[in-house]
Structure 1
Amino acid sequence: MDILSEGGGENIMYVDDEEGLAILGQEFLEDMGYAVTPVFSSREALRLFSADPQKYDMVVTDQTMPEMSGVEMAIAMKQISPETPVVLCSGSRMSLDSPGVSESSICEVLLKPEVFDRLPQLLSRLFMHKSDR
């Protein structure tokens, strides 16, 4: 594994209403050296984030979920902690220019199925800049 893709224990919330995908995301990121909190509901993710926003260095979320979309959740999280980056995973063509995305704290849109191919480099880039702050 490339040294740039190894985490330093940063805590990532991984949100997907499909439990299997959330657990897969958790295992993938933990293997890279990140601490991961898998969450299976956008409402539960917002509740956990609201209770302790400083706990999370980043949120990775699916876009299409019941109750609240990933974009809606990211907008709510931005109100609580504007500096926490959110990565949106989508099965449909979305970008940072898509409606609602620019108002959120979404820093990147990853299209399925290439999420796990692109996530290591994205995390390296984001956390490398974090240490420069």
Structure 2
Amino acid sequence: MQSHQLTESEETANQAFGPILERALQRARALIPPDYEIVHELSHDHARVRGDATELENLFASACVLAWQSIAGQPAKIVIESVELVMDEVVLNEEAETLQGGLPPRRYVHVIISNDRRQPPGPLHLKMRPPPEGSAPPSARRLRLIDMRSVVSEHKGMFSVATEPALGTGFDIYLPSAALLDRQAVTGSGGALKHVVYVDDYAGMRELIEEVLPDAGFRVTSFDKAMPALRFILTGSTGCDAVVTDYKLLDLDGLELLKQIKRVRPALPVIIVSGYVDDTLRARAFERGAAAVLSKTQDLDALCDVLREFLPSDAQAEAGSFTDWSSLS
């Protein structure tokens, strides 16, 4: 199955996360009575997300309001914490390699919205000030719980809510981080982006790669089976500069695909990825000519770094030029 071509609109841009959360808290501050303090701590400087900023602002503002309503009438503070982290402890099953909750291993922005009974604030939490008197409050659309879950799902994240008597309601929200826009595109002759073919029978990983690699400066085409990928690679009609394949596939395994590719294109870099990586797999892969063997539990920055090592740019490109998505069509 060949991947669709990615496009980007202003609403789903790769953008800084901090301002999104700040605007959400401004909306929440206008909706929550001023005698309830809102305190927050952002434990990251440059986190980015790809998504609809307005929907995310409504999501976080609505979570703050629900957290307040769960303890309304009781003295408490609304507490918001945000941290960027790498989730790499994989829960494996027979069909896919995913994290607890169905999330693939990668970097995430984790937002906790609760109150000081559930989550006491620390010394680094900042108080959100009420809007100036007489100023127009920021507009906000209150989301129902089912709508909040839908927004997070559309952004390929995870949403959980917990309610306890006397402790109120708390939210845990995970959103995939997007790549920083300060890395150069990886280009070949004529300025075309280097083309990576990705093979994996798990749709979640294909979608993730289709997002992350273009952000990192590559063009990507993905397949769910080895044989269609092999035919695509060997035709040479669209060019292929590197292959990344899962070890366990539906038809051929990754090592057999590697073997078939090397018979015809021995110089083509092929990277094997797997949820289970041991010395035996490494030895068999390198014996067949693999460029690298990576664990799926690693942050995808590691994959981008390996691809850059094997696919240096042939021409100098402007920093961030890979964000011109029209060049991927």
| Fold shared per TM-score above 0.5 | yes
More strand by share: 2
Match of 1:40 in 2: 224
Question: Is residue 70 of structure 1 aligned with residue 254 of structure 2?
Answer: yes
| Within-5 A mapping of 1:50-129 | 50-52=234-236, 55-95=239-279, 98-114=282-298, 116-128=300-312
Counterpart-to-counterpart distance in 2, 1:32 and 1:117: 9
Where does structure 1 differ by over 6 angstroms across 4 or more consecutive aligned residues? Answer: none
Q: Percent identity?
A: 28
- Give the secondary structure class of the aligned counterpart of 1:55: coil
Match of 2:186 in 1: 7
Match of 2:213 in 1: 29
The worse-fitting range, judged by mean Cα deviation, of 28-37 and 112-121 is: 112-121
The worse-fitting range, judged by mean Cα deviation, of 119-128 and 81-90 is: 119-128
- Give the secondary structure class of the aligned counterpart of 1:109: strand
Counterpart-to-counterpart distance in 1, 2:299 and 2:252: 21
User: Rg bigger for which structure?
Assistant: 2
What are the Cα deviations for residues 78-129 of structure 1, in whole angstroms up to 9, with x where unaligned? 001000000110111235874531342311000112151311211221122x
More helix by share: 1
Q: How many residues of Structure 1 are paired with residues of Structure 2 in the alignment? A: 129
Counterpart-to-counterpart distance in 2, 1:74 and 1:19: 21
Offset at residue 50 of structure 1 (A): 1.9
Question: Is residue 18 of structure 1 aligned with residue 198 of structure 2?
Answer: no
1:29·1:36 contact (CA, 8 Å) conserved in 2?
yes
Counterpart-to-counterpart distance in 1, 2:205 and 2:264: 26
Gaps of 5+ in 1: none
Match of 2:168 in 1: none
TM-score under structure 1 length normalisation: 0.84
1:74·1:86 contact (CA, 8 Å) conserved in 2?
yes
The worse-fitting range, judged by mean Cα deviation, of 49-58 and 101-110 is: 49-58
Offset at residue 68 of structure 1 (A): 0.6
Counterpart-to-counterpart distance in 1, 2:293 and 2:196: 16
The worse-fitting range, judged by mean Cα deviation, of 65-74 and 116-125 is: 116-125
2:286·2:292 contact (CA, 8 Å) conserved in 1?
no
Residue identity in the other structure for 2:218:
Y
The worse-fitting range, judged by mean Cα deviation, of 45-54 and 83-92 is: 45-54
| Residues 60 and 53 of structure 1, relative CA distance in 2, 3 Å threshold | farther
TM-score under structure 2 length normalisation: 0.36
1:53·1:80 contact (CA, 8 Å) conserved in 2?
no
Offset at residue 33 of structure 1 (A): 1.7
Counterpart-to-counterpart distance in 1, 2:252 and 2:217: 29
What are the Cα deviations for residues 8-65 of structure 1, in whole angstroms up to 9, with x where unaligned? 3100001101122112111110111211111111111112112228711000110011
